Amino acid sequence: MKFMICVVVNCIQGRTIFKMEAGAGDSESAPAEPAENIYDSQDLWSDEDDALLVASSDTHACEEILSKASKAAEITKVPDSEHDDPQTSSRDSGCTVQVKRLPWAERNPLQKFRPGYLWVSDLTRQHWCEQMMLYTFTVPTIPVESPVMTAGSNLHLARELAVHSVVQVKVTSSEDIWATKVINLFMTIQGFLNGINVAREIPIFGAPFDKDVFIVGLIDELRFDPDSYTIDLLELKTRSVRSCPKIAQQNQNKLQVMLYKKLFDDLVKGRVSKETVAKHLRLDLEKPFGEDIMGHLDSKFLTAKNLNELLDFVFIRIQSLTCISQLSIEYVLQDTNESLSQNPVEYDDNELKATFEHLLQFWQGQREVEGVEIEDSWKCQRCDFADVCEWRERKAQEHSHKNTAKAKLRKKMQVSVENNLL
């Protein structure tokens, strides 16, 4: 199996963006995926990047075990001399991976359903309806991209390709994959310092509010003003109708951009360490990059040969920037690309922290799953799991019991009044 990275190059200003794309084949002559497919629903670069297995003749065994153990509680790399359990470890090209598994019942949702970290989209989907999000992990379904989703994806792609063209390079390890994200972040930083005003599809990551949960995101657009030395964030949302979304969806989008700002600002403030990255992403910081990654680093005059050196360089460089100043969400009509509105978002650190901590309680197994409250039950009308939803059934029963209790109370009060009249 072969995996590729799409390298997106700004032909005018020389900015390079690496993008993940899965390809099929087992030889060097296998045809590359066409550039327009980089936003396929299975694209590894999308905001659902939780399948980071990269296989090659040198790393297949190690990476396969890492992938299979993505829901386990602990994964550690040990020296080859300590390799003594063929049932739980594998050796390939000097790499030994020892997997320590927890029984399924003892794992929390983060260990069961995600690869040890969360995407911002996991949290926004959870904010919309936690029960619906859980069903996407536990109920077998066939993902189908609707015309509305396709139109939205095409509009995002068109905006990005307005400044980027696409090239492909191969990766040979998970370290290579995450190197592409770090390189993309670096090219945004360097571009701003060199006078570029706009960057799109910027990867960010971190462990906000010191909660020991790693979060990864992909910012739609950052705009840099070199005169005021400020950075603004713009999130694009497409609409199939000529109206702005309801408050519930606006709040979901607000959470998204506030998380983006928190992650970006923490990087600028030096609050993310390479040890944190390695721990949560289960990466070997000292593992050398593959040939193609090294080639592109050399072309950008970067001498890093592994994540340890690359992260050191990027973390220092990003502290030359400033925190994000303003947040805004633009709603665009899909059919005409007409801008319906551009809504500013006021960042509230206390509000974000409270919401984030509540959402994490589910992932860390500290509380049971929650669905929507009765006033938001209109969301169920567009949910694929409405017919099997236990939360919905339970709330309906609670509502029925309350109505029954009220009816009994009214009847009792009526009898009491009648008795008093007699």
Per-residue confidence in pLDDT tens, the chain, 422 aa: 333 333 333 333 334 444 444 333 333 333 323 222 222 223 343 443 333 333 222 333 333 433 333 333 333 333 333 333 333 333 333 333 344 567 877 899 999 999 889 999 999 999 999 999 999 999 887 666 667 667 667 766 677 666 666 657 689 999 999 998 999 899 899 999 998 999 999 999 999 999 999 999 999 999 999 999 999 999 999 888 888 889 999 999 999 999 999 999 999 999 999 999 999 999 999 999 999 999 989 988 889 999 999 999 999 999 999 999 999 999 999 888 889 999 999 999 999 999 999 999 999 999 999 999 888 888 998 898 988 999 888 887 776 667 777 777 777 777 676 667 66
Report the pLDDT value the prediction gives residue 38, as an integer from 0 to 100. Answer: 21
Q: Is residue 399 part of a domain?
A: no
382 located within any domain: no
> For residue 167, what pLDDT is reported?
58
Neighbours of 337 (CB within 10 A): 11
In-domain check, residue 326:
yes
β-pair type (198-206, 215-225): antiparallel
For residue 259, give the H/E element and its range. helix 247-268
Nearest of 121, 104, 323 to residue 230 by alpha carbon? 323
**DSSP-based three-state secondary structure for 163:** coil
**3: enclosing H helix or E strand:** strand 2-9
In the chain, how many domains are there? 1
Question: Has residue 263 been placed in a domain?
Answer: yes
Q: Give how far the C-alpha of residue 170 lies from the chain's centroid of Cα atoms, to the nearest Å.
A: 22
At residue 335, the pLDDT reads: 84
Q: Residue 399: which of 364, 417, 375 has the closest Cα?
A: 375
Give the Cα separation of 264 and 192 in Å (integer).
14
- In 3-state terms, what secondary structure has residue 343? strand
Q: Is residue 115 part of a domain?
A: yes
Is 391 a domain residue? no
Torsion of CA 398, 400, 404, 409, to 10 degrees: 50
What are the structure tokens assigned to 176, written together?
A: 């290579």
Q: What are phi and psi of 319, to 5 degrees?
A: -75, -5
The pLDDT value recorded for residue 46 is 41
Main-chain phi, psi angles of 47, to 5 degrees: -80, 30
Identify the domain containing residue 262 by its residue range. 2-363
CB 314 within 8 A of CB 185: yes
Q: What is the pLDDT of residue 77?
A: 34
Per-residue tokens: 47: 């905001």
The reported pLDDT for the residue numbered 361 is 97
Label the pairing between strands 16-23 and 198-206: unpaired
Side-chain-side CA neighbours of 140 within 13 Å: the count stands at: 0
Q: Which SS3 state, helix, strand or coil, does residue 170 take?
A: strand
Cα dist from 285 to 184, 281, 298, whole Å: 18, 10, 19
Identify the pLDDT of residue 241: 87
Residue 303 lies in a domain: yes
Establish if 19 belongs to a structural domain: yes
Residues 6+ apart with CB under 8 A from 151: 238, 240, 334, 335
**Is residue 250 classed exposed, middle or buried when 0-12, 13-18 and 19+ CB atoms within 10 A define those classes?**
middle
Task: Report the C-alpha gap between 324 and 261 in whole angstroms.
Answer: 6
